[in-house]
Amino acid sequence: MINRKWLIAVLTGVVVVGSAFNYAYKDKLYEISKNIEIFINVYKELNANYVDDIDPTQLMSVGLDAMVGSLDPYTNYISESEVTSYRISTDGKYQGIGAIVSKIDDYVTIVEPYADSPVLEVGLKAGDQIIAIEGMSTKGKTRDEVTQIYRGVPGTNVNLTIQRPGESLPFDVDLVREEVDIPNVPYSGWVDPDVAYVSLTTFTMGASKNIRQAIRNMRNENPNMKGIILDLRYNGGGLLAEAIKVSNIFIPKGQEVVSVKSKVRERDVSYSTQDLPVTDDMPLVVLINKNSASASEIVSGTIQDYDRGVLMGQRSYGKGLVQNTTQVGYQSQVKLTTSKYYIPSGRCIQSVEYKDGEPVDIPDSKRAKFKTKGGRTVLDGGGVSPDVFLKPIEKSDYLKALEQSHIIFKFVTDYMQSAEYQDTLLEEVVFEDYEDFKAYVRNTRFDFESSQEKLLKNLQSDLDDQYDDTIKKDLESLVSKISSYDDRAIEIYKEDIIDRIELEIATRLRFQEGKIYQSLEDDSEIVEAVSLLKDNDRYNQILRPQ
């Protein structure tokens, strides 16, 4: 009798819960249907009666962007015209001319060709301006507008009209579009006789394979290798599968790397390493900064959770979300967040607060504590914190202004026409013609005004009659002193400017490989990493439980 009453009660509860769920589900469907109808009616009314002509595609795009933009920064509507750019970010390939371009003055300009690219095959180089495509002028067009025109099906031709600095007449080239591969491991080599270095710029297809091969080659070259630096700075992430495989290079087979959890529990899944590592005991330093995100954080966080290596640099970006892309018709897509990922300690590194689409720094006091395999305390939320914090390298206002005005880029473009450098050897570039650069800057009439000078001038203009002349004269004197300092900035920041010029020259000579090789020479964070790898006591102390 008791069992019967109990069974009736349970069944009644199930019916009540089921009915409540059914009503809630129907209510939600009604709300969706109602609001879609309202949206369509507003759209029709605007299109029919608004005083000016409306571009229906643009209007709908604004509505779609606003809808997905109310969620998180990673849920996006990808229109048909944006699909190519999205593909580049996920698989590292695109159909195009094989160069980084930027709008400089009136025209889109080739800034950095890729090695073995179509632009190099027809003799184009950094500094060349694309002034027309298929006879159509590109003057005033944005970078995106120009790239949309010249991208297309591999094997097809596109005619470019080029204006080369230093030459009076433009010339035409017929360029064959190709499937362009963007290197994910543009450089690997030695930063010390016994310390190997690998740069990983993106987690596209083949990233793990390329790192494995690079490390094996260096171990064969030097069996006494004492440590590895894996550089994930400025690496914005990429494919989850590649993140797992890259972790597996350093983590033994059968170890969990990441688990993915969503509101649909049937979709929850855990991923573990499947292969034997290349090395699971050699000292390892992973470099990260605020631009290391997503897959970079999976790898760095996993290495930290297993106490496999030391993280060095600054706290990472804080993206612990997984996106899937779905076709929504007419070659358009929606990329939406479907789950969060959790690394081996159980923590999620996702930032929970955003401002203007960027993560807001979360103080350590508000971040939950977890433990690494060896018992060290680590925190969740807001990215991965390094084991060794390094103060970020900041550019001076003067150098930033030179770069924003493209003065260094333009100078090197002119300079390379007569400079004598070996363009076939990977070696450090040395620039010794600084007086030439100073003369070039004078001729451009570059007018630098620091942020401090601007601030004081604004303060000057805001002073009213309630302040006496003494205060005004003191402020005027201070403005004059800072202005004098700004005039001397080209000498004050001489070494930084020379480093930047040398980096630009190295990029012209050997593309991404040359750029990274040159940057290593003056990289204080690399120096710190090498120092740590050569100090076993300090390295082991960092990885011990506190």
Is 414 annotated in the active site? no
261 contacts: CB under 8 Å, gap ≥ 6: 268, 339, 340, 341, 342
Residue 93 has pLDDT above 60, yes or no: no
pLDDT tens-digit map of 456-495: 767 667 666 566 677 767 767 776 777 666 678 899 999 9
pLDDT tens-digit map of 294-349: 999 999 999 999 999 999 999 999 988 877 777 877 777 887 888 899 999 999 98
Query: What gap in Å lies between CA 229 and CA 221, rounded to an integer?
Result: 17
Q: In whole angstroms, how far apart are CA 192 and each of 31, 197, 200, 423?
A: 64, 9, 19, 24
Mean pLDDT of 344-364: 81
> Smallest Cα–Cα separation from 71: which of 383, 357, 380, 382?
357
Terminal Cα distance for the chain, rounded: 61
Q: Is residue 78 classed exposed, middle or buried when 0-12, 13-18 and 19+ CB atoms within 10 A define those classes? A: buried
Residue 216 and residue 170 in contact, taking contact as beta carbons nearer than 8 Å: no
> Smallest Cα–Cα separation from 230: which of 257, 203, 253?
203
pLDDT tens-digit map of 413-439: 999 998 887 666 788 999 999 999 999
3-state secondary structure labels for all residues of 161-223? EEECCCCCCCEEEEEECEEEECCCCCEEEEEECCEEEEECCCECCCHHHHHHHHHHHHHHHCC
What fold does the segment set 238-392 form as a domain? Answer: 2-enoyl-CoA Hydratase; Chain A, domain 1 (3.90.226)
What single string gives the DSSP state of each residue in 402-465?
HHHTTHHHHHHHHHTTT----SSS--------HHHHHHHHHHHT-----HHHHHHHHHHHH--T
Residue 94 has pLDDT above 60, yes or no: no
Residue 514 has pLDDT above 90, yes or no: yes
Q: How many CB atoms lie within 10 A of CB 137?
A: 12
Structure tokens belonging to residue 309: 């290596």
Is 305 annotated in the active site? yes
Q: In whole angstroms, how far apart are CA 188 and each of 199, 217, 241, 522?
A: 6, 10, 22, 17
User: Kindly report the CA angle at 505 between 143 and 210, in degrees rounded to 5?
Assistant: 75
427 contacts: CB under 8 Å, gap ≥ 6: none
- Helix, strand and coil percent figures for the chain, each rounded to 5: 45, 20, 35
Residue 19 has pLDDT above 80, yes or no: no
Tokens 């190519």, residue located = 84
Residue 89 has pLDDT above 50, yes or no: no
Mean pLDDT of 254-282: 93
Please, which residues bridge with residue 112 across strands? 100
pLDDT tens-digit map of 105-119: 999 999 999 988 899
- Determine the pLDDT at residue 393: 85
539 contacts: CB under 8 Å, gap ≥ 6: 283, 310, 532, 533
- Determine the pLDDT at residue 328: 77
Structure tokens belonging to residue 457: 């001038």
- Determine the pLDDT at residue 24: 59
Residue 1 has pLDDT above 70, yes or no: no
Which listed residue (79, 199, 294, 345) is catalytic? 294
- Determine the pLDDT at residue 282: 96
User: Of all helices (H) and strands (E), which one includes residue 89?
Assistant: helix 83-91
What's the predicted TM-score (pTM) here?
0.81
Which listed residue (305, 380, 397, 523) is catalytic? 305
Would you place residue 88 in the very low, low, confident or very high pLDDT band (cuts 50, 70, 90)? Answer: very low
Residue 307 and residue 543 in contact, taking contact as beta carbons nearer than 8 Å: yes
Mean pLDDT of 441-451: 84
- Determine the pLDDT at residue 479: 67
| Domain spanning 93-181: CATH superfamily | PDZ domain (2.30.42.10)
Q: Where do the structural domains in the chain lie, given as residue ranges?
A: 2-54, 93-181, 238-392, 397-527
Is 294 annotated in the active site? yes
Which listed residue (247, 319, 345, 385) is catalytic? 319
Query: What gap in Å lies between CA 366 and CA 380, rounded to an integer?
Result: 9
3-state secondary structure labels for all residues of 459-474? HHHHCCCCCCHHHHHH
Would you place residue 62 in the very low, low, confident or very high pLDDT band (cuts 50, 70, 90)? Answer: confident
- For the chain, the maximum distance between any two Cα atoms, rounded to a whole number of angstroms, is 103
pLDDT tens-digit map of 111-147: 999 988 899 999 999 999 999 999 999 999 999 899 8
Residue 206 and residue 181 in contact, taking contact as beta carbons nearer than 8 Å: no
Q: What is the rounded average pLDDT for all residues in the chain?
A: 86
Residue 201 and residue 163 in contact, taking contact as beta carbons nearer than 8 Å: no
Tokens 């000292």, residue located = 283
Query: What gap in Å lies between CA 274 and CA 252, rounded to an integer?
Result: 9
Query: What gap in Å lies between CA 187 and CA 198, rounded to an integer?
Result: 6
Query: What gap in Å lies between CA 323 and CA 93, rounded to an integer?
Result: 19
Mean pLDDT of 406-411: 97
Query: What gap in Å lies between CA 427 and CA 101, rounded to an integer?
Result: 25
